A and B are shown apart, each in its own frame.
Chain A
């Protein structure tokens, strides 16, 4: 209790400027921080990809060394999954969920700030490995025993282990927060089956995260004990089975795939109804299929391990469960098409990206069914065919949906519309470049090109399609530049959007753009699905949904900013570096984090106000 006697510094009160951003606990600002940071990290992951594509564009190229190439694909995968797609999803969870459920903030605003800063700490830690003796080089999957000290004496893997644990803390904290927020902070009348689909999928994603991340955390802790303290978890010489790592990794890893794609499906399920002017077709079934996908996601992990020798029985079982997962996925796709059927479809850029998502996701889904067939997968596993599949799902799926989300919610966040004409160039360029990059990988894969090779001979016959894929990759980079141009231009001088530019259906469109700090002056009462649409179309209904005029604004107490979340995260970051370089530093980092947690615990949400 010593900390109680330490004079706690004054509460931060900066209304603007850098200090405000550092101490903010407003879910909207944290959402923006998440989005901007994740996008910058997405660019770094993209640059890593471009280096690889440059190296593979021609046979026997010498643009990067094999060692650097291995670091590149490890960092590209880890970055895109943990530092780009997941936090971009979290950015929208943060910004949009409270607005969609009619809440003023998330359940734990300071925990939310802590999630962001800890995510940033993890990102800094992982990315700094490039400048501190080399990045991790064993792939994002880090199969034992190649991550062991005998095969990997450098610090790269240590950075990977520690940064992923820090990122895990951040993701878990955010997931706890969203689960509680969605269960407990819905506006009156918003029953579970009236929740917007994006909120539903965020909820399911967060539950998956809560259950999946401890598994990888334990696996990483075990690997850490092996590397730092000479333990034997994954050491074959001590009798350990390196397959344990693969099981643990994929028991986490497959739910993780759904953690990446379910938010995207939620986004699409918002945009397609809005621009078709129809409610989501088969809402209960779409919700259910999302839940079923999440549930079944726990029963398919060994399809990543069809070639490790689990035997024909296990391979058959996992082949069947994997195929079964195509059913709820198909239901979702048909429901989106059913929503558009007899709709009044307006092809805004957001809608184009959403339809692009559906079209590309079908391809990714079908190639997924192809390698769910374990016997046929023996030819596809660890080839470029898999690379093609996963990019159709993660780029064609997640990234396309996230770009759609930016076009859709940008006016809500900034109050300005993004340029539709640039947007259309952006979409078609992305769509074409994406196919140009990843479709040829199906060919090279079936032509026997393994993944993760830094070079190949011209006699293999893989030159042409690798060159095409590389060209596509650079075109894809150009499309991202177009996107960035559009964001910056529209942020500066985009057309003023008003509160409801798309004739929206859900609560976030009922309040001004950008929303006031407290979101809703009066908490709305919800009586139906798509409450805002119902209110707009039903002249009899009393206007119970809406931001109101801001009357009574003075009585709304918003939680106040805090330093402590930032300080805890800094403590974790110092602790992480300390574990690699110097235990004393780790102790200092741990102490900083601990003291800050205590200070945070005893800091009230609001300082008593003087009236």
Chain B
């Protein structure tokens, strides 16, 4: 305590510093900040957070100042006699039991209201998306629109979207900080939530429940767009892939449907052979902005790197583990194979 013995005011100076410190922690412009909600669910959660936060700040400041005051005021000085041996004070004890109860009630009421508000979709007959989590990517199925895609969720702005959440393997958690708090995907137990984006743009989401080696690399994007853009996207998604004519891409298709055996795990609508559901649907791969479940930009170079050594980008991934082209040296892809595959995949607009 010697630090403050002669300058108790120094501590007072720390208070604004503390506030600056706290405010410094809010970054609404960061991709996954919970301080910049663009949907009613996240907004209600943020409102609740602020409500509790200021209650907590009130308690914090009151109790810590009292503690500080006691520490400074009742320091032992040489020659002090024993203080009076008081054992308690009934009235005081009742007060400090009841006060927190009142304070908690203030917090509890909006909590329960928000829980029920967010549990029930305001438009249960509206649009529907099934999200299926896999180690470590996301499958998005639109039963009404007859669209299946992966890792990028397109939703129309200002519309309620009912989401059902499932998983094919372990527990994952679906979380778009700016649009809605997380809900887990539990095997054998389909969960429901609803979301609504109120701002056009790209929003970032991430798996929030530990799900294995590449848990950190299980991200996704939510593209909130105007109804017209959304409809256009749906229309293009429903088109089968165009059979490439360019020779390199054509060679890539042959590999895809042939020796490289990509077809056994990946589906490309319009390709006669491909049928797999173990990996993401690749029909319109090049229409997506990111690769590998939202982890890198979808560019020629990144795609090439991904096919060359998937484990560098996403450690532990199932393709690297199970595909013959990666675990059997005799079947490994040559540089030209990869060039062909890249050309083919880039053609899947």
B107 CB–A CB distance under 8 Å: yes
Closest-CB distance, B23 to chain A (whole angstroms): 10
Measured as residues with beta carbon below 8 angstroms from the partner, the interface class of chain B is: 35 or more
Contact: B210 with A138, CB < 8 Å?
Answer: yes
B residues within 8 A CB of A315? 115
Contact: A307 with B184, CB < 8 Å?
Answer: yes
Contact: B183 with A378, CB < 8 Å?
Answer: yes
For the complex, count residues of A whose C-beta is within 8 A of B. 98
A190 CB–B CB distance under 8 Å: no
B92 touches which one: A143, A338, A451 (CB < 8 A)?
Answer: A338
Separation of A320 and B56 alpha carbons in the complex (Å): 17
A373 CB–B CB distance under 8 Å: yes
Provide 17 A-B residue pairs closer than 8 Å at the C-beta atoms, listed in order of the A residue: A66-B214, A146-B170, A277-B82, A277-B83, A279-B86, A309-B183, A312-B119, A327-B100, A327-B101, A337-B63, A338-B88, A344-B82, A362-B67, A376-B111, A457-B295, A460-B32, A461-B29
A residues within 8 A CB of B216? 66, 450, 452-456
Chain-A contact segment, one of B123-131, B187-195, B299-307: B187-195
A525 CB–B CB distance under 8 Å: no
Chain-B contact segment, one of A116-124, A213-221, A441-449: A441-449
A366 touches which one: B27, B45, B59 (CB < 8 A)?
Answer: B59
A143-B210, A278-B86, A378-B45 known; A337-B67 Cβ under 8 A: yes
Contact: A379 with B64, CB < 8 Å?
Answer: no
B114 touches which one: A276, A362, A375, A383 (CB < 8 A)?
Answer: A375
B188 touches which one: A239, A334, A337, A342 (CB < 8 A)?
Answer: A239
A323 touches which one: B96, B107, B182, B215 (CB < 8 A)?
Answer: B107
Contact: B213 with A362, CB < 8 Å?
Answer: no
User: Contact flags (1/0) for B257-272 with A, using CB distance below 8 Å?
Assistant: 0000000000000000
Task: Give the number of residue pairs across the A-B interface with Cβ within 8 Å.
Answer: 290
Interface SS majority for chain A: helix
A165 CB–B CB distance under 8 Å: no
B236 CB–A CB distance under 8 Å: no
Separation of A333 and B32 alpha carbons in the complex (Å): 36
A residues within 8 A CB of B85? 278-279
- Within A350-381, the residues touching B (CB, 8 Å) are 352, 355, 358-359, 362-363, 366-367, 369-370, 372-379, 381
Contact: B115 with A450, CB < 8 Å?
Answer: no
A375-B114, A443-B25 known; A323-B31 Cβ under 8 A: no
Chain-B contact segment, one of A37-45, A280-288, A411-419, A549-557: A280-288
Separation of A292 and B204 alpha carbons in the complex (Å): 43
Contact: A309 with B186, CB < 8 Å?
Answer: yes
Closest-CB distance, B88 to chain A (whole angstroms): 4
Which of A139, A342, A446 has the most CB atoms of chain B within a 10 A radius of its CB?
A446
A430 CB–B CB distance under 8 Å: no
B2 CB–A CB distance under 8 Å: yes
Separation of A366 and B59 alpha carbons in the complex (Å): 8
State the 9 A-B residue pairs at the shortest beta-carbon distance, nearest first.
Answer: A448-B32, A378-B181, A443-B25, A453-B216, A236-B187, A461-B30, A375-B114, A309-B191, A312-B119
B residues within 8 A CB of A326? 100, 104
B115 touches which one: A312, A362, A460 (CB < 8 A)?
Answer: A312
Closest-CB distance, A373 to chain B (whole angstroms): 4
